[in-house]
């Protein structure tokens, strides 16, 4: 859908980000979007996170195809089980 800006257009249009907690805790989703070598990057991220934040639980997820949005079930699962998502891709 396209809408027209009701303002004086001084501010850029942006999606509002969710509030950022001060520290990482609980469960973190590591989402591989299925681009080649994305898993390499995520493996490395997981390794570093385990070193620095041993109390944080890491869960791995994978989108079936990088070119399509994550399936509804996957998004629900991540939302239900995790407080954070790190989405990583590589090429």
How buried is residue 29: exposed, middle or buried, by Cβ count under 10 Å (0-12/13-18/19+)?
buried
Among 55, 69, 73, 91, binds other proteins (CB under 8 A): 69
Residue 69: other Cβ atoms inside 10 A: 9
Stretch that binds other proteins, among 7-15, 30-38, 50-58, 79-87 (CB under 8 A): 7-15
Contact present, 4 and 61 (Cβ < 8 Å): no
How many of the chain's residues bind other proteins (CB under 8 A)? 14
Stretch that binds other proteins, among 10-18, 22-30, 41-49, 76-84 (CB under 8 A): 10-18
> Shortest CA distance to 62 belongs to which of 90, 34, 29?
34
Residue 71 CB, shortest distance to other proteins, in Å, is 12
Residue whose CB is less far from other proteins, 4 or 22 = 4
């Amino acid at each position: 859908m396209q809408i027209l800006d009701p303002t004086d257009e001084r501010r850029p249009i942006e999606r509002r980000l969710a509030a950022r907690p001060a520290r990482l805790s609980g469960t973190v989703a590591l989402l591989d979007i299925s681009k080649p070598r994305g898993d390499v990057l995520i493996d490395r991220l997981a390794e570093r996170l385990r070193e620095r934040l041993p109390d944080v639980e890491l869960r791995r997820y994978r989108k079936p195809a990088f070119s399509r949005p994550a399936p509804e079930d996957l998004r629900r699962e991540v939302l239900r089980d995790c407080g954070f998502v790190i989405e990583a891709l590589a090429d």
